[in-house]
Chains A and B, each alone.
Chain A
Amino acid sequence: MREITYREALNEALLEEMERDPKVFLLGEDIAIYGGAYGVTAGLWKRYGDERVLDTPISENAIVGVGLGAALTGMRPVAEIMYIDFIGLCMEQLNNQVAKIRYMFGGKCTVPLTIRTEGGAGRTLGAHHSQSLESWLIHIPGIKVVMPSTPYDAKGLLKSSIRENNPVVFIEHKMLYNTKGPVPEEEYTLPIGVADIKREGTDVSIITYSRMTLFSLKAAEMLEKEGISVEVLDLRTLLPMDIEAIVRTVKKTNKVVIVEEDCKTGGTGAEITAQIVENAFDYLDAPVVRVAGADVPMPKSPVLEKLAIPDPERICEAVRKLVGR
Chain B
Amino acid sequence: MIKEIIMPKLGETMEEGYLVSWKKNEGDKVEKGEVLFEVMSDKTNFEVESLHSGYLRKKLYEPSDNAIPVTTVIGYISDTPDEPIVIEKKSETKIEIPEEKTVEQKAVVEPAEIKDKEISGRVKASPIARKMAEEAGIDIALIKGSGPEGRIEKKDVLEYLASKKDEGKAVPSGEYIVKEWTPLRRIIARRLTESKREIPHYYLEGKFIVSEIAREKESRKKEGVDLTYTDFLIFLTARAIKEYPLVNAAVINDEIRIYTSVDIGLAVSVEDGLVVPVLRNCESKSIYQISKERKEIVEKARLNKLTEEETKNARFIISNLGMFGVENFQPIISPPGVAIMGVGKVGKELVVIDDKIAILPVMNVSFSFDHRVIDGAYAGQFYKRLKEIMESPVID
* Cβ–Cβ contact B128 & A285, under 8 A: yes
Q: Hey, which chain B residues are within 8 Å of A285, CB to CB?
A: 126-129, 153-154
**Chain A 257-284 residues near chain B, CB threshold 8 A:** 281-284
Question: Chain A nearest CB: distance from B150 CB in Å?
Answer: 12
Question: Chain B nearest CB: distance from A96 CB in Å?
Answer: 40
Cα of A300 to Cα of B114 in the assembled complex, Å: 43
Q: Hey, which chain B residues are within 8 Å of A286, CB to CB?
A: 126, 147-148, 151, 153
* Cβ–Cβ contact B154 & A254, under 8 A: yes
Q: Hey, which chain B residues are within 8 Å of A284, CB to CB?
A: 126-128
Interface flag for B269 (CB, 8 Å) = no
Q: Hey, which chain A residues are within 8 Å of B146, CB to CB?
A: 324
Mask, B99-126, CB within 8 Å of A = 1, is 0000000000000000000000000001
Q: Hey, which chain B residues are within 8 Å of A281, CB to CB?
A: 127
From B128, B147, B151, B154, residue with most partner A Cβ within 10 Å: B128
Interface size of B as a range: 10 to 19
Interface flag for B89 (CB, 8 Å) = no
Q: Hey, which chain A residues are within 8 Å of B154, CB to CB?
A: 254, 285
Cα of A63 to Cα of B128 in the assembled complex, Å: 50
Q: Hey, which chain A residues are within 8 Å of B131, CB to CB?
A: 282-283
Cα of A285 to Cα of B155 in the assembled complex, Å: 9
A/B pair count, beta carbons within 8 Å: 28
* Cβ–Cβ contact B147 & A254, under 8 A: no
Cα of A284 to Cα of B154 in the assembled complex, Å: 9
* Cβ–Cβ contact B148 & A282, under 8 A: no
**Chain A 285-310 residues near chain B, CB threshold 8 A:** 285-286
Cα of A286 to Cα of B125 in the assembled complex, Å: 9
Cα of A281 to Cα of B130 in the assembled complex, Å: 11
Cα of A282 to Cα of B154 in the assembled complex, Å: 11
Q: Hey, which chain A residues are within 8 Å of B128, CB to CB?
A: 254, 282-285
Cα of A285 to Cα of B146 in the assembled complex, Å: 12
Cα of A242 to Cα of B147 in the assembled complex, Å: 30
* Cβ–Cβ contact A324 & B148, under 8 A: yes
Cα of A286 to Cα of B127 in the assembled complex, Å: 8
Q: Hey, which chain B residues are within 8 Å of A283, CB to CB?
A: 127-128, 131
Query: B156 — nearest CB in chain A belongs to which residue?
Result: A285
Cα of A285 to Cα of B154 in the assembled complex, Å: 6
Cα of A285 to Cα of B126 in the assembled complex, Å: 5
Mask, B131-173, CB within 8 Å of A = 1, is 1000000000000001110010110000000000000000000
Query: B151 — nearest CB in chain A belongs to which residue?
Result: A286
Question: Chain A nearest CB: distance from B345 CB in Å?
Answer: 56
Cα of A286 to Cα of B156 in the assembled complex, Å: 13
Cα of A56 to Cα of B135 in the assembled complex, Å: 63
Query: B157 — nearest CB in chain A belongs to which residue?
Result: A285
Given A254-B154, A285-B154, A324-B126 contact (CB < 8 Å): no
Question: Chain A nearest CB: distance from B321 CB in Å?
Answer: 49
Q: Hey, which chain B residues are within 8 Å of A282, CB to CB?
A: 127-128, 130-131
Query: A282 — nearest CB in chain B belongs to which residue?
Result: B131
Question: Chain A nearest CB: distance from B121 CB in Å?
Answer: 20
Question: Chain B nearest CB: distance from A61 CB in Å?
Answer: 46
Question: Chain B nearest CB: distance from A209 CB in Å?
Answer: 25
From A281, A282, A283, A285, residue with most partner B Cβ within 10 Å: A285
| 24 CB < 8 A contacts A-B | A254-B126, A254-B128, A254-B154, A281-B127, A282-B127, A282-B128, A282-B131, A283-B127, A283-B131, A284-B126, A284-B127, A284-B128, A285-B126, A285-B128, A285-B129, A285-B153, A285-B154, A286-B126, A286-B147, A286-B148, A286-B153, A324-B146, A324-B147, A324-B148
- In the complex, besides A282-B127, A284-B127, 9 extra interface pairs with C-beta distance below 8 angstroms are A254-B126, A282-B128, A282-B131, A283-B128, A284-B128, A285-B154, A286-B147, A286-B148, A324-B146
